Every structure is written in structure tokens, then in C-alpha cells.
Amino acid sequence: MATPPFDLSKAHRYFAIECNNEAWRLLESASPSSDEIDRMIHLAHASCFHWLNAGDLLNHLRAQNLLATAYTKANMPTCAVRHAERCLELSREAGEKQTAFDRAMVHGCAAKAFRLAGRASDASKHDALLLDLMKKLESDEQMLVEKLYLSK
């Protein structure tokens, strides 16, 4: 591959952030159109790709969370569970490197993905872990987690 005429690592970081932010913006919309759902999923994958090139373990964990959450919003349980399970694996690997907010987001996306897939006992397990972690969050973090993972 030819050497690009720009700083590749900065470009990866730039696109990781931009794709991530736009995907989350679409995720938080109340009733996205089918085109917006497609765009959200493409953005989530693009963000993950760029974080794999410019980020660390926590960036990858957060990107997998975004993917699981996007696929849940898209009502695609198989993909949602796949990325939620990967997110859980990365969370175990990250251990103490992650924040309480990271952990809450991991269990939130897992609970929603498992519920969508009809895996009620797995969803309940992660709901319980999420509710316990909610006590450790700042109020603005609690509101975001509630909006994303606890509201119907």
C-alpha cells in the first residue's frame, strides 16, 4: 500500500470520533427512518474499524457497545447479541481500566440485546448488574444509561 499524503493515525482517530458521534446521534433519535438505521450501522462499523487502527482496548470495547446498541435499535437480534458478547469479552479483558460508566454501558447493551433475542434470563442477569452499577454513576451518566438501556 502506498504511503498516504497525510498522517494516517490522525486520520483514523478523526474518523473514529466523527463516525462514533454521528452514530450515537442517530441512535438517540426517537424514530429513525430505515435509511437512518442503515447509516447508523455503517457509521458504527466505520467507527469500530478506525478505533481498531487508532485506539486502545477501551476504544474497541466502546465501539462494540455502539455496534450492539445500534443493532438492537435496528431490531437485528443476532448481530446485537454477537457484538454484545464481544463487548462483554472486552470488558472482562479491560478489568479495572474501564470506568463504572463503561461497565454500565456494557451490561446495558447486553441486557437489551439478550432481551431482543428472547434470552430473558441472560437479560435479567445483566439488568441486575446494570442497576447495581447505576449507583456509582454521576447523575448525567445515570440519565444517559436510563435513556439508552432502561426505557422501553
pTM for the structure as a whole: 0.95
Q: What is the CATH number of the domain that holds 146?
A: 1.25.40.10
| Rounded CA separation 101/123 (Å) | 18
Q: Report yes or no on 39 lying in a domain.
A: yes
Angle (nearest 5°) at CA 63 between 61 and 65: 70
Q: What are the pLDDT digits (tens) for 66-98?
A: 999 999 999 999 999 999 999 999 999 999 999
* Residue 117 vs residue 3, higher pLDDT: 117
Q: Report yes or no on 1 lying in a domain.
A: no
Q: What are the pLDDT digits (tens) for 2-16?
A: 888 889 999 999 999
- Is the per-residue pLDDT at 24 higher than 70? yes
Q: Which amino acid, one-letter code, is at 144? A: L
Band (pLDDT 50/70/90 cuts) for residue 152 is low
Q: How far is CA 6 from the centre of its chain?
A: 29
Q: Report yes or no on 75 lying in a domain.
A: yes
Domain hosting residue 66, numbered range: 8-150
